[in-house]
């Protein structure tokens, strides 16, 4: 029985011999890819696709291809401007499930013919893989510009004839389900292809300014269009409940003020600004903001708690 320590040692040796140097940003992209790809296949091909499992793996091309089904198809792509190649590997189970669904079937029980794909089947495979190439390029282009242009469809055996099996690669491995059929799909980049972009792809995602910052723009755009309730409080005072219960329409309630006080602007229960009351050009009452509310500063007062109406406390 082989010990666990020996298995770990062999894995370290294999990874070292493959020249696997992890690229943190590439790991981020490959983690985001499956969900984006599943959505693209639904919208562009009408394929009900689910992601069952995905992982990023650094290994030789031969090791990555070893677990794929017989007659797996490969779409080779040119990575511009990197002057290298990228590959999409598609197992026949997914291909025939997609074909069945596009013909109106349910893709529940797929028969896998023991033959190479026909021209029609290759054309469908190319369409699916080109979507994967497009989504992959869009994801990576957020950090470094790249285009992935498909060159043609080949069998896995044909690609292995031109690409040495010991070529170090990084791959996004995905287990997808189309209908009720599951199969593997892989996005593979030889490490040599990524060399021109290695500086950008080696950048740590956390704490760096070169990460995917589109979420900030998305939040900023949505927040800027959000409406909030703003409360302008002139005065808050205590009085007996018996007095409040005795008030009637027409009564005059004294505020115990000798002059107009500074108005407090309150948003979401937090005091944010102070200002002076007055009238603007159209003679509507307005507030001229004079200073910000800083917790702990002199003159700062906690926002009042209102039991009903606008800005009420829970």
Domains 4-219 and 227-292 share a fold: no
What average pLDDT does this structure show over 212-239? 72
Across 154-181, b (16+ Cβ under 10 Å) vs e yields: bbbeebbeebeeebbbbbbbbbbbbbeb
Report H helices in the chain: 4-17, 24-45, 61-65, 92-102, 119-140, 156-162, 191-194, 198-201, 214-224, 241-246
For 196-211, write each residue's pLDDT tens digit.
Answer: 998 888 876 544 444 4
Q: Where is 292: in which H helix or E strand?
A: strand 285-292
Least confident of 72-86, 136-150, 157-171, 262-276: 262-276
Cβ–Cβ under 8 Å, residues 47 and 172? no
Question: Is 305 a residue whose pLDDT tops 70?
Answer: no
Beta-carbon count within 10 A of 182 CB: 17
Tokens standing for residue 15: 């990874």
For 110-148, write each residue's pLDDT tens digit.
Answer: 677 778 888 989 999 999 999 999 999 999 998 899 999
Which residues is 269 bridged to in the sheet?
A: none
**What is the CATH superfamily name and number for domain 227-292?**
SpoA-like (2.30.330.10)
**What gap in Å lies between CA 14 and CA 59, rounded to an integer?**
8
Question: Is 225 a residue whose pLDDT tops 80?
Answer: no
Cβ–Cβ under 8 Å, residues 72 and 182? no
pLDDT of residue 310: 39
Q: Note the pTM of the prediction, 2 decimals.
A: 0.60
The CATH code belonging to domain 4-219 is 3.40.1550.10
Q: Where is 290: in which H helix or E strand?
A: strand 285-292
Task: Report the Cα 48 to chain-centroid distance in Å.
Answer: 20
Cβ–Cβ under 8 Å, residues 185 and 65? no
Please state whether beta strands 285-292 and 270-279 pair in parallel, antiparallel, or not at all (unpaired): antiparallel
For 11-53, write each residue's pLDDT tens digit.
Answer: 554 555 445 578 888 988 998 899 899 889 988 888 888 888 8
Spell out the domain ranges in the chain. Answer: 4-219, 227-292
Identify the DSSP state of 47. Answer: -
**What gap in Å lies between CA 32 and CA 138, rounded to an integer?**
11
């Amino acid at each position: 029985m082989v010990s666990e320590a020996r298995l770990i040692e062999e894995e370290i040796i294999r990874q070292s011999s493959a020249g696997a140097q992890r690229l943190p940003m590439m790991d981020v992209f490959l983690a985001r890819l499956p969900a984006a790809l599943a959505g693209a296949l639904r919208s562009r091909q009408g394929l009900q696709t689910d992601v069952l499992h995905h992982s990023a793996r650094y290994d030789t091309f031969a090791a990555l291809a070893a677990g794929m089904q017989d007659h797996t198809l490969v779409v080779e792509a040119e990575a511009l401007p990197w002057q290298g190649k990228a590959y999409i590997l598609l197992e026949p189970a997914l291909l025939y499930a997609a074909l069945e669904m596009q013909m109106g079937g349910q893709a529940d029980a797929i028969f896998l013919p023991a033959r190479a794909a026909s021209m029609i089947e290759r054309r469908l495979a190319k369409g699916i893989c080109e979507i994967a190439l497009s989504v992959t390029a869009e994801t990576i282009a957020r950090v470094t510009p790249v285009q992935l242009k498909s060159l043609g469809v080949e069998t896995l055996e044909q690609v292995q004839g031109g690409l040495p099996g010991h070529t170090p690669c990084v791959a996004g491995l995905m287990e997808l389900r189309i209908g009720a059929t599951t199969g593997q799909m892989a996005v593979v980049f030889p490490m040599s292809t990524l060399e021109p972009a290695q500086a950008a792809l080696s950048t740590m995602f956390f704490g760096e300014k070169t990460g995917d910052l589109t979420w900030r723009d998305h939040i900023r755009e949505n927040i800027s269009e959000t409406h909030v309730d703003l409360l302008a409080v002139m005065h808050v005072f205590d009085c007996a409940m018996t007095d409040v219960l005795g008030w009637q329409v027409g009564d005059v309630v004294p505020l115990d003020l000798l002059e107009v006080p500074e108005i407090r602007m309150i948003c979401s229960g937090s005091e944010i600004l102070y200002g002076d009351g007055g009238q603007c050009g159209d003679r509507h009452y307005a507030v001229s903001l004079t200073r910000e509310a800083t917790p702990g500063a002199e003159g700062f007062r906690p926002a009042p708690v209102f039991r009903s109406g606008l800005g009420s406390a829970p």
